[in-house]
Amino acid sequence: MVDLRSDTVTRPVAAMREAMASAEVGDDVYGEDPTVNALEARVAELFGHEAAMFTPSGSMANQICLQLLVPPGEELLCDADAHVVTYEIGAAAALGGISSRTWPAAGADLDPEAVAGMIRPAGYNAVPTRAIAVEQTHNLGGGGVIPLSTLRALRGVADDAGIGLHCDGARIWHAHVADGVPLATYGGLFDTLSVCLSKGLGAPVGSVVVSSRERIQRARVIRKRLGGGMRQAGILAAAGEYALSHHIERLADDHARAARLAEALAPYGIVDAARVVTNIVPLDLTKAPIDGPSLGAAARERGVLVSVVGPRRGRLVTHLDVDDAAIDRAAEVLTGILRGA
Ligand SMILES: Cc1ncc(COP(=O)(O)O)c(C=O)c1O
């Protein structure tokens, strides 16, 4: 099977497993796991922030950040397709009491002025806006990279309004590799970031919250409350350390493979190859002779797994476990199905 559903399907490589097996560990709820502590210090430094905290998942990392920035009953602004309001099962509302309002899905093309126009000031008769969240890269936005100039403008908008700015940086590594923007430059723009080790970087588990020392102290309380306090988590943190050391620069290969897939599919009118800049190839099947579920089923029968995200919307994601031969095979299978439909 060539599994292009997500970059979360990767399996830890042998050297990563060895690093996990030999990790020094302690009880992280007591703050005594040296491997977790080292990972947190490393990630904080990478993003130029004071502190960081390991979490079991990207969703938990995001939700902790949102709770840090937005008190219950107050408001978060984000894209209608943002992971935090689409795929986190209502956690902001259910667990944080956070009200959210979205701008129309724009992916990486968000307009800071339009966002500024949505901000509601504090007052007794309206829900005050307390934070803006963006996603870098933008998952449902086809892996698009929000330009640095847009993020800088958005920082200005947040500062003018005196509100927080969060980055769901599950794939911020991909943006860094695609655009060459240093991770610390991204770090300097946000009050909180959540970054994932288990998407393109190939660790089996783990994300990291990055912020100020004061916020990370509060984050540890929220994580414990959510049931995310882990004990000998160094075994997992060691996988993250390995991923940071060995799997960032190679993301360029995933981007090149996504571009190749996009070029193969572009003649069928389902992909705009020029917009594929990282490891995600969004499929727009509105004018295709086949719908998403049928394409997914036909591809599965021929050994290719595709993510179907809507009746006429699909997604292919390249990652550590798909090589050039797998990409060629997937392109052959998918173009064959489109020709025959
Ligand atoms: C953009 C984005 N944010 C957050 C997450 C959540 O990560 P997790 O699955 O570890 O909760 C994902 C998962 O794919 C994602 O794509």
Give yes or no for residue 125 having a pLDDT over 90.
no
Q: How far apart are CA 101 and CA 118, in angstroms?
A: 9
Q: What is the pLDDT of residue 124?
A: 79
Q: What is the pLDDT of residue 162?
A: 97
Protein residue closest via CA to atom 9 of ligand 1? 58
Centre of ligand 1 to C-alpha 332, Å, is: 29
What pLDDT, in 10s, does the model give residues 147-181? 999 999 999 999 999 999 999 999 999 999 999 99
> Which residue from 199, 278, 317 has its CB within 8 A of the most atoms of ligand 1, so it is best to mutate?
199
Centre of ligand 1 to C-alpha 169, Å, is: 9
* Residues flanking ligand 1, CB < 6 Å: 8, 57-59, 62, 83, 135, 139, 168, 170, 196, 198, 207
Average pLDDT, the chain: 97
Give yes or no for residue 316 having a pLDDT over 90.
yes
- For the residues 39-67, what does the mean pLDDT come to? 98
Beta carbons of 63 and 96 less than 8 angstroms apart: yes
Q: Where are the alpha helices (DSSP H) in the chain?
A: 14-21, 34-46, 58-69, 83-86, 91-96, 112-118, 148-161, 172-179, 183-189, 213-225, 234-246, 251-265, 292-301, 324-340
What pLDDT, in 10s, does the model give residues 258-273? 999 999 999 999 999 9
Q: Which atom of ligand 1 is nearest to the CA of 60?
A: 11
Q: What is the pLDDT of residue 161?
A: 97
pLDDT band at 328 (very low <50, low <70, confident <90, very high): very high
- For the residues 320-336, what does the mean pLDDT come to? 98
Q: What is the pLDDT of residue 281?
A: 98
Centre of ligand 1 to C-alpha 57, Å, is: 7
Centre of ligand 1 to C-alpha 33, Å, is: 25
Residue 34 structure tokens: 């040296």
0.75 surpassed by pTM: yes
Centre of ligand 1 to C-alpha 126, Å, is: 31
